[in-house]
Amino acid sequence: MLKLPVSKIIENINSETCFYAVSDDYSFTIKIDEYVPYACGAVHDGHQFRKELWDNCLHTEYDRWYEEDPETKNMIVSHPIVIAGCDSRFEYDLNRAPDEAVFVTAWGKQLWKTPLPEAQKERSQEKHANFYRVVEALISKLEDKFGVCIVYDMHSYNWQRWDREVPTWNLGTSNVDNKRFGGSIESWRAILESIDLPKDIKQTAKINDTFQGNGYFLKFITNNFKNTLVLATEIAKVYCDEYNQVIYPEVVAAVENQLRDLLPKHAADFYKTFSS
């Protein structure tokens, strides 16, 4: 892995160079093993929280972990193009618009003991902006090269705090073109429902059941690129004990192993359908 400034990452993308890098401020990673018409993202995978914010934060380390999406990068790590956040969404949320990315409150609780100094807020906003500079360059390159593109936007959610039965997988599609891409959306839902998980975990996959796909990552790509479908894909945190902060690696591995084959097949079908 290389450590690269954003300008060099974008230069590599524009020249179709294959590389694996972390940004020079360690805020995100990007891997491109091959230029293919699909990409995977894990914007909430990160847990880093820079030290100058520690003493001012009212949320504990566990509070932050509980609302992040741990292991979502590992579920898609084998695919040719993967971009993932390294920083906690409590520092800045890559799935929120720039003016909303630095929280004042988080999940009903005040986040900071005292308001953030403007310089600290601006540092976080700059990281957010740099990430989206790279996303724009990446999707632009893939659309230019292939005509169409599909992005698998991986998330997780805390299923145990719901007071009803919720699906193992949820697809949020309220901000994509369902009329045009409905077949690909439904086929992805069926693929997710087919995944076999250990620990007798029930497999269900629904559309817009718990979340509707209102994240900024999806909206940014959808609003700027007319031939790219973003699939906001949420797995319930059945792969961990969300109350005791214990990861079940055998469940994470089961997801990764099956997506290694199933996801590229879905992407190939998408490309075959929409590239002509």
Residue 276 scores a pLDDT above 90: no
pLDDT digits (tens, 9 = 90+) for 48-74: 999 999 999 999 999 999 999 999 999
Q: Which long-range contacts (CB under 8 A, 24 or more apart) does 67-70 make?
A: 67/106, 67/107, 67/158, 68/44, 69/42, 69/44, 69/45, 69/154, 69/155, 69/156, 70/45, 70/156, 70/240, 70/247
pLDDT digits (tens, 9 = 90+) for 78-106: 999 999 999 999 999 999 999 999 999 98
pLDDT digits (tens, 9 = 90+) for 223-248: 999 999 999 999 999 999 999 999 99
Residue 107: predicted pLDDT = 87
What value does the mean pLDDT take over residues 177-192? Answer: 97
Residue 25 scores a pLDDT above 80: yes
Going by pLDDT thresholds of 50, 70 and 90, the confidence category of residue 108 is confident
Can you give the pTM of this predicted structure? 0.96
Residues 6+ apart with CB under 8 A from 39: 79, 81, 82, 83, 138, 139, 142, 149, 150, 151, 152
Residue 198 scores a pLDDT above 90: yes
Residue 262 scores a pLDDT above 90: yes
What value does the mean pLDDT take over residues 198-202? Answer: 90
What is the percent of the chain with per-residue pLDDT over 90, rounded to a whole number? 96
